[in-house]
Each structure stands twice: as structure tokens, then as C-alpha cells.
């Protein structure tokens, strides 16, 4: 099933529910879930959907620089 097939399945879901407003993301997820269950493929989102999985962080904890301790010493009175 391609993105086109998922889009058509989501559209059919939307129509079968009476074309409710604001339910496009749910219909897309449901169509996508059905696709994954039938093929075992990972989740996808269309590029024009403006959502999805964030890319992994570029630095690992070992690459994180420790803050320097260059604060002046406190004056004792």
C-alpha cells in the first residue's frame, strides 16, 4: 500500500463517518495503522502533513560539553 492508497483509505473513512470536520489526522492514522498491520511496514506521513518523527539528536551524552566554572570567588566579609 502506497501513500496514495493510505490517502484513499483515510478519505473513505472520512466519507463513511459523514465527513466530520477536523478528523483528518485520526482518519489518516487509522488508515495507516491498518496498512501497518497488513504489511508490517513502519509508519509514514505525507510531507505536506507537517508532523512526524523528530530526527535523532546530533550529539550523544559523551559529546556534551561540561559548563565551565569561571564564576568569580565570593568575597568574604
* Structural domain spans, the chain: 1-45
pLDDT surpasses 70 at 5: yes
Instruction: Look up residue 18 and give its three cell numbers.
Output: 459523514
What is the pLDDT, as a whole number, of residue 35?
86
Q: What pLDDT digit, counting tens, does each position of 22-66 carry?
A: 998 999 999 999 888 887 655 555 555 555 555 555 555 556 566
Q: In the predicted model, what is the mean pLDDT of residues 60-73?
A: 62
- Statement: residue 7 has pLDDT above 70: yes
CA distances (Å), origin 26, targets 10, 13, 51, 69, 70: 9, 10, 13, 50, 52
Amino acid at each position: 500500500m502506497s501513500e496514495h492508497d493510505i490517502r484513499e483509505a483515510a478519505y473513505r473513512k472520512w466519507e463513511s463517518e459523514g465527513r466530520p470536520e477536523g478528523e483528518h489526522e485520526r482518519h489518516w492514522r487509522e488508515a495507516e495503522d491498518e496498512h501497518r498491520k497488513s504489511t508490517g511496514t513502519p509508519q509514514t506521513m505525507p510531507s505536506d502533513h507537517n508532523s512526524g518523527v523528530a530526527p535523532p539528536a546530533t550529539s550523544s551524552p559523551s559529546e556534551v560539553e561540561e559548563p565551565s566554572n569561571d564564576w568569580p570567588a565570593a568575597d568574604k566579609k
